Amino acid sequence: MVLAKQDFGLRGRELHNAVFVPFTAQTRMSGVDFGDRKIRKGAADTIRIYIENLGVHFLKALSSG
């Protein structure tokens, strides 16, 4: 919640339509869906695959390897 408030200007009362995605060992990421916005955090390789599965090109410069 602190991250949402600080980085995105969102308040708790504004998140009543948010869908929270819990972290699991299988998905290796967590996040929140807020309207059309999907915010995720997790293992770098998992996030890369998630982004590519959305049809978005993942910049090689963002890769750690």
Nearest to 49 by CA among 29, 21, 23: 29
For the stretch 1-50, pLDDT in tens is: 677 677 877 776 766 788 889 999 999 999 999 888 899 999 989 999 99
The single-letter code of the amino acid at 32 is V
Q: Where are the domains of the chain?
A: 2-62
Length of the chain in terms of residues written: 65
Span 47-56, average pLDDT: 91
Higher per-residue confidence, 51 vs 64: 51
CATH of 2-62, one of 3.40.50.970, 3.90.1150.170, 3.40.1110.10, 1.10.3720.10: 3.40.1110.10
Taking only Cα atoms into account, the Rg of the chain, rounded to an integer number of angstroms, comes to 13
Q: Which helix (H) or strand (E) holds 39?
A: strand 37-42
